[in-house]
Amino acid sequence: MKIKSHPIAWIVRPEDGTIFDEQAFEVRIEDEGGGAFLEVKSYADDAKAGEIGIDDDCWPALKATIEAAFKVVAEIDKDTGEKP
């Protein structure tokens, strides 16, 4: 049996902030049985369920992280045959 590993979570945060900084985002690969997908979570204290606020200065890093995560999703889908 071959074993493979994949990153499934990333934190996008200010350089001087912690991983749970109020301006941080978590990008996570999830799978509830129908194939892998992404969830993006804001750590802002005032974040409402289902909503995130994105400042223009953090957008490039968040976008790059989301794109990298989708590449991992595509690799997982290819390996598992979940999606054509």
Q: What DSSP string describes 23-56?
A: T-EEEEEEESSS-EEEEEEE--TTPPTT-----T
CB proximity list for 5: less than 8 A, separation 6 or greater: none
Considering the entire predicted model, what is its pTM? 0.86
Residue 29 lies in a domain: yes
Residue 14 lies in a domain: yes
Number of structural domains (the chain) is 1
Residue 76 lies in domain: 9-80
Residue 30 lies in a domain: yes
Residue 3 lies in a domain: no
Q: Six-digit token pair at 8?
A: 């499934």
Which pLDDT tens digits describe the chain residue by residue (84 residues)?
Answer: 889 899 999 999 999 999 999 999 999 999 988 889 999 999 888 878 888 889 899 999 999 999 999 999 999 888 877 665
Residue 52 lies in a domain: yes
Residue 64 lies in a domain: yes
